[in-house]
Amino acid sequence: MNLEFRCYLVTSGTDRSTVDTAAQAARAGAGMVQVRAKKTSAAQLLQLTVAVAEAVAEANPQTRVVVNDRVDIAMAARQRGAAVHGVHLGQEDLPVTDARTLLGGEAIIGLSAGTLEQVRQADQYRKIIDYLGVGPFRPTPTKDSGREPLGLTGYPRIVTATQLPVIAIGDVTPQDIGELAGTGIAGVALVRSIMQAAQPGRVVHDVLAAWPPERPGSSRQS
């Protein structure tokens, strides 16, 4: 499986606009869409996940859809025939080894790792994990990690500590890509920059165009 990480959308909201924005981002070339709605019920999250997966698959079959935290929701959506490709897990979620057992060898499994120690620990499971989401780049209101922001100076050490692709997250904007790309990361995850944009597809185009042309930057065979 060829994974494209340069522009990775993390959704917010649970209404139709969330579904439409995800589809627009996929159509413009976003390689990954993570469905995240932490404060909704399991039933609502399943409904949202299926709707996003169907819309994204129609817009761009190459875009991969994962579910934040919930292996059970990913499995249920797949049983309904939705094109859900895996999960993105936090440190307190189901262990990646168990997620892999449940979801199978072809599923995408991402893991949040916010410290150098967590990155090094995760690298021991690099045959199970497909990528790491590491942040925050800046303080962000969408997720209070309680950690100091990594900034541009924090990512080179993170990247050299693992063989896994590293995705920067935490108030990243298209204007940050040029400098962030130089740290060795594989891609950036965006929430508000895309979800609150009047033209989400334009933002995705801007993000992809900002990556240096000599750096395809982000694919990983899984």
Q: Is 34 annotated as a binding residue?
A: yes
Q: Is 112 annotated as a binding residue?
A: yes
How far CA 42 is from CA of 48, 66, 70, 104, in Å, comes to: 10, 15, 9, 22
Q: Checking DSSP bridges between strand 220-221 and strand 2-3, what pairing results, if any?
A: antiparallel
Q: How far is 172 from 43, CA to CA, in rounded Å?
A: 31
Scanning 60-167, the segments in alpha helix (DSSP H) are: 71-79, 96-103, 116-123, 151-160
Q: How far is 129 from 193, CA to CA, in rounded Å?
A: 27
Q: Is 68 annotated as a binding residue?
A: yes
3-state secondary structure of 110: strand
Q: Is 140 annotated as a binding residue?
A: yes
44's enclosing H/E stretch is helix 42-59
Q: How far is 202 from 204, CA to CA, in rounded Å?
A: 5
Contact 30, 63 (CB under 8 A): yes
Q: How far is 121 from 111, CA to CA, in rounded Å?
A: 11
Q: Is 127 annotated as a binding residue?
A: no
Q: Is 69 annotated as a binding residue?
A: yes
What single DSSP character describes residue 187? E
Q: Strand pairing partners for 65?
A: 33
Q: Is 72 annotated as a binding residue?
A: no
Q: Is 35 annotated as a binding residue?
A: yes
Binding residue numbers for Mg(2+): 69, 93
The annotated binding site is made up of 34-38, 68-69, 93, 112, 140-143
